[in-house]
Chains A and B, each alone.
Chain A
Amino acid sequence: MKTMNFNKIVMVLLAFVVATSCVKDDDFDIPNLNIDEPNINAEDIIQIPAVAGELAQSDEDQVTYSETGKFMVGYVVSSDEGGNFFKQLILQDKPENPTVGIKVLVDVSPLFVTYEVGRKVFIKLDGLTVGTSNGVLALGVRGEQRPDRIPFPKREEHIIRSADVATIVPKPLTIEQFSMANTNLMIRLTDVQFTRSELSKTFAAEPNDQFDGERKLEQCSNSRVVVLSTSTFASFKGVTVPEGRGTIDAILTRDFFDEFYTIYLNDLTALNIESSERCTSTNCGLANAAGPNELFADDFENQTINTPISGNGWTNFIQEGTEPWEAFEDNGANQSLGISARCGSFNSGDDSTISWLITPQIPLSNANNATIQFKSSSSFADGSEMEVLFSSDWDGTPANITNATWRVLSDARIVQNNDFFGDWIFSGLVDITCIEDNGYFAFKYTGSGDSNFDGTYEIDEIIINSF
């Protein structure tokens, strides 16, 4: 066989084989991901407040849309990228200065890979149900008592992405401004820090953290506290909370049992520590022991029942309404501790009841390891509330009470509406060593003659010690 001939044969064989069909190779280009703006008539687009209003006007717990042809527009503010949200998208009506937000329940995880923060989306409402879930406005499919998640096969039908991705400007709020109207919004708290007792804890990886780790965050201006909740599935659950103070962007919502306001982070980039210096606080945690020196004590046994509390340095001040703090004694089901103090607006007819019971000035500047303790009880508290406050800049005159800076003593356990009305709740031995100045402790009652806000709060056995 001649080599020439041989080469020829090889060439023919190669040509024969190469000429046959080819298979798609593995070099795939990035597909075209451009989004065409969905073609929805402007008159079919409704805002989140309209959806909220629909529920508010209904007698039902859930309102289902059908054959309306309507689409709700909103901007995504939540992200499950950090694992802190699960199968829900929080939408608000506008990227800036939002007014209403809504939680959209959808059985898909993760969602950040499709709906990033700022993404404008249209929600096809027909087939969906608006209601309340864990205390906040929610959209999903009709469930037995509250909306359920939109099934994953229905996701693309109901959640339609716009090409628009906006920059979300968090809404500045203070903790005292928290209200239902602000839930499901991206808010910003400025000058906040974790309370002293939370320091050295992780966000949600402590042994007793179940479902969520709950950490108290206080506002420097008045030591008012909000709970920052972090899922135990969050990727940053094991990070230790920072000591310094700064700004936090988070989503305001209610806790799982709808008992209090709480905020959730998308991830830690939303927590911006601006200073390592901690600010003044009245939230020092709990102490192990009370000292031998009694700085102040009152069990109200020297008071006259059914008359306002007086003497022993007390300032009894009605800021609004008609109801003072008064002494009482009850030996029935709602037993007092001998003679106790109480304040309530039941049958008061008040538009608003705000009453203060303030201790004399307590000499804390030289006190060692001071503590405060008391007991509290309530009856039909409903929407009325009692706070324990501290001020070091009040001058002692009733006229200036409202001008002074009152900080919240949030480590003190105060009776909750769901505690049994006959029980007296111990405050705990509240550490007040972080208070460096002399000042006044106040029990502030807030209520009204409205039957939803006309509860009664009772206090007793107030003792302040030091070593």
Chain B
Amino acid sequence: MKKNTLTFLFCIFVMSLIQAQEATVKGRVIETNSGEPIPNVQLSIEESIYNTTTDANGIFTITDSNLPLGEQILLVEKSGYITLRFPITIQSGSTVNFDPLLMEVDFADAQSQIGFISLADDELDDDDGSSTNVSGLLQASNDVFLNAAAFDFSATFFRPRGLDNANGKVLINGIEMNKQFDGRPQWGDWGGLNDVQRNRDFSMGLTPNDYAFGDLAGTTNIVMRASQYRQGGQVSHAFANRSYQGRAMGSYSSGVTANGWAYSVLVSRRYGNEGYVEGTLYDANSFFASVEKIINPSHSLNFTAFYTPNRRGRSTAITQEVFDIKGNQYNPFWGKLDGDIRNARTREIEEPVFMLNHYWTISDKTRLNTNLGYQFGKIGNSRIDNNGTTLVTFNGQDTYVGGARNPEPNYYQRMPSYFLRFENPTANDYQNAYLAEQEFRNNGQFNWENLYLANQIATNGGKNAVYALQEDRIDDTQITANTILNTILTSNITLNAGLNFRSLKSENFASIKDLLGGTGFLDIDSFAEESIDVDAGDIAQSDLRNRNRIVQEGDRYKYNYEIDATVVGGFAQAQFKYRTIDFYLAAQGSQTSYQRNGLFENGYFPGERSFGKSEKLDFTDFGAKGGLTYKVTGRHLIDFNAAYMTKAPGIRNSFSNARQNNDVVIGVDSEKIQSADLSYIYRSPIIKARITGFYTGFEDATEIGFFFTQSFQGQGFNNDAAFVQEVTTGIEKRHLGGEFGIEAQVTPTIKLKAAGSLGQYIYNNNPNIYYTSTDFDGPKTFGDGTTKLKNLHLSGGPEQAYQLGFEYRDPDFWWVGATTNYFSNGYVNVSKLRRTDAFTTDIDGLPFNDFDETIARGLLQQEQFDDYVLVNVVGGKSWKIDDYFVGFFATINNVFNQEFKTGGFENSRYSDYRKLVEESNRDTPIFGSRYFFGNGTTYYINAYFRF
């Protein structure tokens, strides 16, 4: 026994001696053609825990006494490059040195750029009351499922895990770019900069990111530092028929020069008179410059600026009736003027960003990155203001003449359904419906000349403009400062910490963009209805301190207020890496404050109710998350993440009617989020696979909607019709589901892949809801003050998406791929008003006497969209000519021109039982749900030249 023990101890000793002899794998990774070192390449010894990344000089080292000995596979990966697998032999005490290790640019990387392009370019408007925003986490990565989501699912607003892009964080050089207004990144601010945005650090979901605490849907840090670009340039030109018709881009980077300077510039232009949808003009220029001075090995100072003014013609969701007549390319917002397309609703974004970044390598284990960001500029959305009036003072009383109707060609009173709205249509009704249908079919565009004509008549009569082009503006000025520490405490523990500060002044106002030939525009609300004790001349005023003002082009009118927002926060994160388990813990805290400052004294809300400073809103938030990766073997991994956090609401959801008053949302609170996911990951030389189950619960979410309704019965005012602000608070949501991705390199040239997601994203309670309006006093509620949303589905893309695809990569530098994608379980965005007791309330405040529960259930059934299949094809080729690369790639999306709905929302105009019964009895409803329709077959082709 004793002997055995001794032998055992001896063996241990010998083994430890042997193991104490370190083995080393090291080398330098350079790009095949340029010979430039490649930073941030991930290297790992397959089926082991050992991994590392290259530094800025492309150098890496893996050294440990426990390296697996014998024949091993070294895996060399970096997004945008072809993955390498090197067979190596590791011997105890010896070193394997690769110098150089050549990596080749993956021309299929171009494909990833498309995914990103379409994301940034197609981001849709959310001002129609829908929330069909694509998710912020869509981007190229090494994950099969996310790639499918980015390239093939994005066309239909599929959102991984049902999360909206306000749930993902986008950083540029470590500075958070999500807007305080709604938490979403404004992609337009850096559109067209693709060539200089290839360096990205992406953390999926809750997994740790070195720059920030992050968010549920992941964190992306885009590195735009002059020293991080390889020396060389690229010009490219693309042609497409999606959002733009063409894109020209040229970029050049100096690389780091001998004296430590580096420069990078890019200019690009995207243009098109219309995209796939009619009248959607695209006019965007992008400019980027970055200069960096590497002062010494410890200090480097970088300056980056980009300016991407863009102007786009918008389109909108349309009813089934409009779609049936005009199809999925129809857009009511444009019309011809002097032979040119003019879109009444354009969006202009001009928000240049300037950054100063300091990189301080304090020691070889500790780095401190300090950033200062400044952004200013404007976001403007235009629309026609058709309520121009002229003051007539009679006997000392103000009245207003003029004002016209909505000039849009799809206005409901111009639709065939409107003429068939009565129960037993007459022959004349059918005739009128037919004429309306023919008129809309043949002449369904905006008539600009009529607007100019009206203003000409007004001018000749000495009156103000009837129509004007209005622009709703958000002019933000924002300063951001942060500092991020990264220190390696031990070989197993890395600590990240950061402090950040953000100060925003947001000016919000409407202004006159074009008087359309008129002489001036009277700044009053012509919808103001006087009651016995209130003079219309008072309540109609946009600014009581400046009554009956006539405004000119460029003047502010209607509403004018500022929001001051300040955010102070910090995070700390520790990452632990051990042989069989990696884990992390992170925590953050922040203080957010908002205050509105009214610059107009609104006639409906005189005094402090609208003018001057509002109550100051303060939110204190914290979050904690943790997770672990357990390496069962090198091939089998289990990954688990969990988080609890609170999030301050965006500015948008904090003030109930910011355009008119200082009111804050009653019961506004930070959102509480709990989230967890569990994955099984399998990696072999042939197969890569992941399957994940996920859960996220939201509590205390707030939503605000604005609409006109005729179903506001029993509230004690005359005609049940009101333009309301709908404030929903205390919303609980539950996201539950699973996703998977698998890819098999069946031959060196052929890869098969499959991915899918199955989720259920629902409201989990009946939240509180109240309404405010200038048509009645005070907040109003129905019944118990809730809306019955529990178990209804959230809108926003299909809940189920599946993909099968392949890629063929010919050794002769061409490649082709195709995917088939199946989508189902998309749901319409429900009207909340219909799910309140307004639905059952008659004008006297009592329930309808003809209420039939079975019929009611049918009326409130949430619409589920039809499922559909989209087939996408992509391919490309490249040539090397001397030291230059020439190549192209092309994609065709929706090859079979499948028609499909990507989203939609119910109309709250009719929300009561009786009106909805009438609507359901009509062949075509007057106020039917409006839908977003997907694109038919589209192409994108890009040719490039690299030098």
Contact = CB atoms under 8 A, between A and B. Distances in A.
Interface stretch (A212-220, A238-246, A325-333, A392-400): A238-246
Most chain B beta-carbon contacts within 10 A, residue among A9, A29, A31: A31
A30 interface: yes
Contact of B454 (A24, A113, A236): A113
Given A23-B282, A33-B452, A113-B466, A236 B250 contact: no
Contacts of B254: 1, 6
Interface string B582-597: 0000000000000000
Interface stretch (A57-65, A268-276, A336-344, A376-384): A268-276
A465 to B, nearest CB: 34
A30 B517 contact: yes
A114 B340 contact: no
Contact of B435 (A16, A24, A154): A154
Interface string A228-269: 000000011011101000000000000000000000000111
B265 A13 contact: yes
Contacts of B265: 10, 13
Interface string B123-155: 000000000000000000000000000000000
B714 interface: no
Contacts of B404: 110, 113
Nearest to A16: B250
B281 A24 contact: yes
B392 A236 contact: yes
Contacts of B255: 1
A4 interface: no
A162 to B, nearest CB: 14
A148 interface: yes
Nearest to B282: A23
A31 B271 contact: no
Most chain A beta-carbon contacts within 10 A, residue among B231, B254, B516: B254
A73 interface: no
Contacts of A268: 392, 394, 399
Q: How would you classify the secondary structure of chain A's contact residues: helix, strand, loop or mixed?
A: loop
Most chain A beta-carbon contacts within 10 A, residue among B395, B403, B426: B395
Interface stretch (B106-114, B241-249, B650-658, B791-799): B241-249
Contact of A239 (B248, B397, B414): B397
A176 interface: no
A28 B414 contact: no
B166 interface: no
A151 interface: yes
B436 A17 contact: no
A26 B431 CA distance: 39
A26 B265 CA distance: 28
Nearest to B255: A1
A387 B931 CA distance: 65
Contacts of A107: 432
A6 B232 CA distance: 11
Nearest to B515: A30
A422 interface: no
Nearest to A144: B426
A290 interface: no
Nearest to B427: A144
Nearest to A118: B461
Contacts of A1: 231, 254-255, 257, 263
A17 B346 contact: no
B399 A235 contact: yes
A141 B428 CA distance: 9
Interface in B859-910: none
B314 to A, nearest CB: 13
B642 to A, nearest CB: 48
Contact of B457 (A20, A21, A30, A113): A113
Contacts of A143: 428
B342 A28 contact: yes
A18 B267 CA distance: 9
A180 interface: no
A107 B413 CA distance: 10
Nearest to A268: B394
Interface string B329-340: 000000001101
A81 B401 CA distance: 6
Contact of B414 (A14, A81, A152): A152
Nearest to B529: A238
A153 interface: yes
Contacts of A291: none
B251 A13 contact: yes
B397 A153 contact: no
A166 interface: no
B246 A21 contact: yes
A181 interface: no
Interface string B497-522: 00000000000000001101100000
Contacts of B516: 30
Contact of A20 (B269, B399, B400): B269
A205 interface: yes
Given A30-B452, A30-B517, A236-B392, A151 B435 contact: yes
A83 B536 CA distance: 15
B235 A23 contact: no
A110 B414 contact: no
Contacts of A239: 394-395, 397, 399
B115 interface: no
Nearest to A35: B453
Contacts of B428: 141, 143-144, 148
A235 B439 contact: no
Interface in B370-405: 389, 392, 394-395, 397, 399-405
A109 interface: yes
A22 interface: yes
Contacts of B402: 81, 112
Nearest to B192: A17
B513 to A, nearest CB: 8
B655 to A, nearest CB: 30
A81 B392 CA distance: 12
A148 B337 CA distance: 33
A450 to B, nearest CB: 38
B252 interface: yes
A28 B514 CA distance: 9
Contacts of B456: 30, 33
Contact of B450 (A82, A113, A273): A113
Interface string B101-122: 0000000000000000000000
A155 B307 CA distance: 48
A165 to B, nearest CB: 8
A154 B438 CA distance: 11
B932 to A, nearest CB: 24
B338 to A, nearest CB: 5
A95 to B, nearest CB: 16
A19 B448 CA distance: 31
Contacts of A151: 431-432, 435-436
A12 interface: yes
A67 interface: no
Contacts of B457: 112-114, 116
A267 B389 CA distance: 13
Interface string A307-333: 000000000000000000000000000
A71 B414 CA distance: 27
Interface string B206-217: 000000000000
A25 interface: yes
Given A1-B231, A20-B237, A113-B457, 7 more contacts: A9-B233, A13-B235, A31-B448, A110-B404, A151-B432, A239-B395, A268-B399
27 contacts: A1-B255, A6-B263, A10-B265, A13-B251, A13-B266, A17-B250, A19-B248, A20-B237, A24-B281, A24-B342, A28-B337, A30-B456, A31-B449, A33-B453, A113-B404, A113-B457, A114-B457, A116-B461, A151-B431, A151-B436, A153-B436, A236-B394, A238-B530, A267-B392, A267-B401, A268-B399, A269-B392
Q: Which 6 A-B pairs have the closest CB atoms?
A: A113-B454, A13-B250, A153-B439, A23-B283, A238-B530, A268-B394
